Amino acid sequence: MIVGIIVDGRAEADALQALLRKAVGPRRCLRPRYADMQPTASPEQIAKRATDRVRMLRRHGADRIILLIDREDREDCCPALAAEIERALAGVGAQDVHVVVKDRAFENWLVADPEALAALAGRFRITKAFRSAVAPDKADAVHSAAALLSRACLGKPYNKRRDPARIVEAMDVVAAARNSRSLRRFLRLVGSSAYRGQSRRP
């Protein structure tokens, strides 16, 4: 199975490629493609923005396509929002696209492995309070994971373009998934053996 992924952040695409390499190996996933999707837009607007990328990934041999988008401050629960976007995609001819709503953002996945951040000792100082904010299985509940990362930074605040890739390089993806249900859902869809049977529980 070849997986194609559509993302809502340019910098995120690079970090996600490293995450996928760790999770399922280098040959299973095409390079993630960016689409200008606004997380606060309607499902129909999101679907319209993603359609060209869906067609592109199909042309490049994707057997499964996953659209990744932030929930941010929306009140919708992740499964309900994902289902609405999937229906909107089907409505514009992009059938069989799986939607994963990051709860609340890509940064919630980045904070989910505190030990990886602690290993980047020149960049982050990880406290007991940081660890207890994300574990066990609480990373998705952090309201602003980017702010949490900035508070942990040594020197300059968290940088959305430079920091994600180096965090992912240090990350134990399965350890991070134990603290993030939305990451577990994503790993299940891309074919990770750790969550082949279910992703509801760590």
Q: Is residue 115 part of a domain?
A: yes
pLDDT at 27: 75
Do both 16 and 67 map to the same domain? yes
- Can you give the pLDDT of all 202 residues of the chain as single tens digits? 899 999 999 889 989 999 999 998 877 899 999 999 999 999 999 999 999 999 999 999 999 999 999 999 999 999 999 999 999 999 999 999 999 999 999 999 999 999 999 999 999 999 999 999 999 999 999 999 999 999 999 999 999 999 999 999 999 999 999 999 999 999 999 999 999 889 989 9
pTM: 0.95
Edge-to-edge, what's the strand order for the sheet holding 64-70?
A: 33-34, 3-7, 64-70, 97-102
Q: Is residue 75 part of a domain?
A: yes
The two tokens of residue 170 are: 């240090």
Do both 81 and 127 map to the same domain? no
Backbone dihedral angles phi then psi of residue 98, each to the nearest 5 degrees:
-90, 135
pLDDT at 11: 84
Name the residue range of residue 116's domain: 108-174
Of 54, 63, 152, 154, the C-alpha closest to 110 is 152
User: Domain count of the chain?
Assistant: 2
| Structure confidence by residue, pLDDT tens digits, 117-176 | 999 999 999 999 999 999 999 999 999 999 999 999 999 999 999 999 999 999 999 999
Give the helix/strand (H/E) hosting 5: strand 3-7
Q: How far apart are CA 113 and CA 18, in angstroms?
A: 15
pLDDT at 26: 72
The two tokens of residue 56 are: 């592109």
Do both 96 and 190 map to the same domain? yes
